[in-house]
C-alpha cells in the first residue's frame, strides 16, 4: 500500500516549505507529501475540497473518494478491501479507533448556519465596519449590532487582497455566527511569535465553550501560521457573537471556518 499526500496551498504562507515541514512533523505524518503549489494535482482530480481523499486499486483505478473531516471508519474499510483484492498478506480486519478532536472533528451539520468566510477584500462577504480602505492602514470600529454571519473590525488594520493585518496592539475582530465550532486561520506575520490574544463569546470568557487553542478564560498565543480552534460551544447551539482581541500587533488573519 502506497500513501502519498498532496499539499495544495489555499493561502500564500502555505507555499512555504518550512511551514509544510513543521505541520507534517506536528501532525506526525510519515508518508511523502507532494507540494502542489501550482495546483496541477488539484486540477488533475478536478478537486474542490480540503481535505479530499482518493483511493486507487492495484491497477491505478480510482475506486473511492471522500471529502471533508469525519467518517474516518469508511476510508479504513476501503483500504482493507483494496488490500485484500490485491492479495496483500497480514492485513487487518478490525477497525482502528480514531479520536478526532479539535479541527479534525466532523462538523455538526444539523446546527451549522455559518459558512467559511475570507477576510481579505478579494473574497470577503458581509463586512460591516465603515470606511474599508483596501491596502491602507485604517482605524475601524465595531457597530453596536451585527447580523448573523456579519463581521467587523476594531483598531488599526490594513485590509489586503488575501488577509487583514493588525498594525497596532489591541485590535479586535467580531463575528456573529451559528455553529458548534469556530476556527480562524491566522499567523504572526513578520512579528516574532508569540502573539497573545483573548477570545470572548457574547462579551464573556468562553469557559465551557473554549476551543482547543484557548483556555477557559479565552487566553491563547499565536505561534505559527495555521488554523486555530477557538470555540466549541455545547448544546443547545444558538447565534453567538465571537470576538478576538490581539494584545500584540502584527497578526495576519485569513479566514473563518465553522463546523
Question: Is residue 136 located within the same domain as residue 186?
Answer: yes
Query: Residue 12 sits in which domain range?
Result: 5-104
118 shares a domain with 27 = no
CATH of the domain at 161: 2.60.120.260
Which of 78, 104, 130 marks a domain boundary? 104
Whether 213 and 162 map to the same domain: the answer is yes
Does 244 share its domain with 118? yes
pTM of the model: 0.74
89 and 120 inside one domain? no
Task: With residue 26 as reference, give the H or E element that holds it.
Answer: helix 17-26
Cα atoms found within 13 Å of the Cα of residue 50, Cβ hemisphere only: 11
Predicted local confidence at residue 162, as pLDDT = 96
Q: What is the CATH number of the domain that holds 47?
A: 3.40.30.10
b/e code 128-167 from CB counts within 10 Å (16+ = b): bbeeeeeeeebebebeeebeebbbbbbbbbbbbebbbbbe
Summarize the confidence of residues 73-88 as an average pLDDT: 76
Give the bridge partners for 252, in sequence order: 165, 187
**The pLDDT of residue 79:** 76
124 and 96, same domain (yes or no): no
Q: What is the pLDDT of residues 166-185, one digit of tens each?
A: 999 999 999 999 999 999 99
Are both 9 and 38 inside the same structural domain? yes
User: What are the CA-CA distances from residue 70 to residues 73, 108, 113, 128 (Å)?
Assistant: 9, 10, 18, 33
- Give yes or no: residues 96 and 122 share one domain: no
Q: How many domains does the chain have?
A: 2
245 and 208 housed in the same domain: yes
Domain-ending residue, one of 88, 104, 120: 104
Q: Which long-range contacts link 232-238 to residues 24+ away (Cβ below 8 Å)?
A: 232/180, 232/181, 233/180, 233/201, 233/206, 233/208, 233/209, 234/208, 234/209, 235/111, 237/108, 237/111, 237/178, 237/179, 237/180, 238/178
Q: Which carries the bigger pLDDT value, residue 93 or residue 223?
A: 223
Taking residues 73-96, what's their average pLDDT?
71
* In the chain, % of residues over pLDDT 70: 89
Residues 147, 57, single domain; the answer is no
Instruction: Write down which residue in 81, 104, 127 finishes a domain.
Output: 104
Q: What gap in Å lies between CA 143 and CA 45, rounded to an integer?
A: 43
Based on the fold, state whether residues 202 and 223 are members of the same structural domain.
yes
- Per residue in 193-247, pLDDT (tens digit) is 899 999 999 999 999 999 999 999 999 999 999 999 999 999 999 999 999 999 9
Q: Are residues 66 and 160 in the same domain?
A: no
- Using the predicted structure, report yes or no on whether residue 90 has a pLDDT greater than 70: no
Amino acid at each position: 500500500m502506497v500513501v502519498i499526500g498532496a499539499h495544495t496551498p489555499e493561502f500564500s504562507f502555505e507555499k512555504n516549505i518550512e511551514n509544510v515541514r513543521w505541520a507534517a512533523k506536528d501532525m506526525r505524518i510519515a508518508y511523502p507529501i507532494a507540494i502542489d503549489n501550482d495546483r496541477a494535482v488539484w486540477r488533475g482530480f478536478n478537486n474542490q475540497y480540503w481535505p479530499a481523499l482518493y483511493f486507487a486499486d492495484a491497477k491505478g483505478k480510482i475506486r473511492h473518494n471522500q471529502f471533508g473531516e469525519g467518517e474516518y471508519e469508511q476510508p479504513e474499510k476501503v483500504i482493507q478491501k483494496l488490500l485484500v483484492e490485491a492479495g496483500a498478506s497480514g492485513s487487518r480486519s478490525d477497525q482502528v479507533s480514531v479520536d478526532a478532536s479539535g479541527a479534525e472533528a466532523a462538523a455538526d451539520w444539523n446546527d451549522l448556519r455559518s459558512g467559511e468566510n475570507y477576510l481579505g477584500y478579494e473574497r470577503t462577504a458581509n463586512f460591516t465596519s465603515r470606511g474599508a480602505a483596501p491596502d491602507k492602514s485604517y482605524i475601524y470600529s465595531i457597530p453596536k449590532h451585527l447580523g448573523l454571519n456579519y463581521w467587523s473590525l476594531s483598531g488599526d488594520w490594513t485590509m489586503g487582497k488575501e488577509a487583514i493585518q493588525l498594525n497596532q496592539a489591541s485590535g479586535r475582530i467580531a463575528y456573529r455566527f451559528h455553529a458548534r465550532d469556530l476556527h480562524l486561520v491566522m499567523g504572526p506575520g513578520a512579528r516574532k511569535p508569540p502573539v497573545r490574544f483573548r477570545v470572548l463569546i457574547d462579551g464573556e470568557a468562553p469557559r465551557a465553550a473554549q476551543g482547543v487553542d484557548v483556555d477557559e478564560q479565552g487566553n491563547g498565543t499565536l505561534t505559527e501560521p495555521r488554523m486555530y480552534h477557538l470555540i466549541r460551544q455545547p448544546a443547545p447551539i444558538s447565534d453567538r457573537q465571537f470576538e478576538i482581541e490581539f494584545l500584540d500587533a502584527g497578526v495576519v488573519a485569513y479566514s473563518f471556518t465553522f463546523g
